[in-house]
Chain A
Amino acid sequence: EPEVTQTPSHQVTQMGQEVILRCVPISNHLYFYWYRQILGQKVEFLVSFYNNEISEKSEIFDDQFSVERPDGSNFTLKIRSTKLEDSAMYFCASSEEPPGQGTDTQYFGPGTRLTVL
């Protein structure tokens, strides 16, 4: 069964460093998302992406964050200068383009645990 994959599973970085989190969405999916989950808290929306541009972003997704689809398979989240509060689990998700029927199911990857020291 097709699944969303994410690498690395765990990333440790120093405050102020740049990190890139990678995702490979399900191959026929066209909508991509990033969410984050601070330890013990709820899952929060960061950004959605379609047709090579951001569709929607949350207040969390400030200028330190960027997303890119550099090729036909990868979807990346970059944090330019990490802060301690960026420590969280980051989930990538993807959904198929629905046939005009509304919101399709988002399938999540296993997550990347980011630890900022």
Chain B
Amino acid sequence: QVQLVQSGAEVKKPGASVRLSCQASGYTFINHYIHWVRQAPGQGLEWLGIINPNGGDTTYAQKFQDRVIMTRDTSTSTVHMELTSLRSDDTAVYYCARAGQWQVLYHWGQGALVTVSS
């Protein structure tokens, strides 16, 4: 079955960077886009961007354009998301999600809590 397994929780200081991973299994990795979505405590869902594992093309939300980098490693079926210049309001659970047609998010990772605190 389709699984997305994310790396664990992180605690970072303001100004630092965080790199999260999302390892896919149960399907052909290059056939489905991967999205990153975050959720601050008690808040809604916020889209960060998308990566095409087939070629590595990316599109980022304008808000994160200067701070986010998404990459993929086809040898391990893993997508990485790096967020730089962290601030306290970046504290959130970060999810990866596999998209189907029309970017419907059929499968989600378990989430990774990133805490930014001095």
**Real binding pair:** no
Q: Which residues of B contact A (CB under 8 A)?
A: none
Q: Which residues of A contact B (CB under 8 A)?
A: none
